[in-house]
Amino acid sequence: MVSIDLSGKVAVVTGGSRGLGLAISRGLAEAGAAVAIASRKLESCQAVAEEIVAAGGQASAHAFHAGRWADCDRLAAEVAERWGGAQILVNNVGKSPVAPSSLETSEELYDMVFAVNLKSVFRLSALFGEQMRAAGGGSIINISSTGTQRPDPSFAPYAAAKTGVHLYTETFAQELGPKVRVNTVMPGPFHTDATKAWSRSEGFTDYARRVLPLGRAGEPQEIVGAVLYLASDLAAFTTGACIKVDGGHSISKSGDSQPPS
């Protein structure tokens, strides 16, 4: 059996203290990586870091606002000081607030969505990518969304921002190759603390059974395998790619365009 061993590597996970990011942080730690957990609430990062250390792993906690350029610079500096740099970057952080309509979408909401979902992907990929290239190699993994393929008026700015993530994946794959690989993981509907209001609703459950080939939403740990693959040498010839982990959402069985919100 092939196993993934990331011992000796340092992984940075943005939004790493909850939801998919938490599952990814735990999975990377279990594979042997030291994990730098970054999110807006430092205390949440510290709790996850303490959990990982108690289980025999290595971790650090970092306060980080994805919409602030200076926070990206500070995170890179903190990781360099604490761990000497990173070999894995997971740009996971994201936010998808909905609005009643495009007309009722405020400028503040619009700017926030683009800043949180797109700015740090660009800046952190540039910062850590150059550090990885200088050190001899690494892997950047961007977390996107099937919203890029199945947009809806209620979250158009979010879908547009996540579409930009795909563009950055391909751009940085060109810029940082051949030493650094850059790929995307595209999740579909998942059960997380942020989505439980709709993902466990009767309406969504019925939708999933009718439309998704696998008939359900995913559990957070089911994103981890794709991330570990891309982080490891098993994906040594994979860059600029997008791996869908969506229960078949992108090839749904009927004409329904979106799950009920």
Q: Which residues are catalytic, by number?
A: 158
Read off the amino acid at residue 46: Q
Helical pair 107-114 and 156-176, crossing angle rounded to 10 deg: 30
Spell out the residues 6+ positions from residue 222 whose beta carbon is closer than 8 angstroms to its own: 190, 245
Separation between Cα atoms, residue 87 and residue 135, nearest integer Å: 9
Sign of CA dihedral 213, 199, 150, 28: negative
Bridge partners for 59 per DSSP: 35
Separation between Cα atoms, residue 18 and residue 20, nearest integer Å: 6
